[in-house]
Amino acid sequence: TDHRELKGWPRISPQTMLDVLKGEYGDVVSEGYMVLDARWTAEYEGGHIEGAIHASSKETVRDALWHPDGRPKYGKQHVVVLHCEFSQVRAVAMKTELEELDEDSDYPSKYIL
């Protein structure tokens, strides 16, 4: 699969995500983390990563990370993880939307699962 569209966004493995959920990597996610799930509603409702937000639209992503006045809800070290079924199409599309929203680099620690 061609991942050039990821443009430098690092990927994390499912095992690393599981370790984060278990409380490991506390030094890396010391200001917290958020998983944005780009899967279809039925997929999300069928089961999702604990605490994941169903990011069904650009507005959902914006509302999850920014206050209505545009201020970020979290600090710069807050980690954002995007994922979908295979993290090749919908997560990449969400990545593009997040880049448009995050023009001030409020969230520099972004990953694709």
Return the active site residues.
84
- 55 by Cβ neighbours in 10 Å (0-12 / 13-18 / 19+) ranks as buried
Residue (of 43, 50, 51) closest to 91 by Cα position: 43
Phi/psi at 16 (5° precision): -65, -40
Whole-angstrom distance, CA of residue 39 vs CA of residue 28? 26
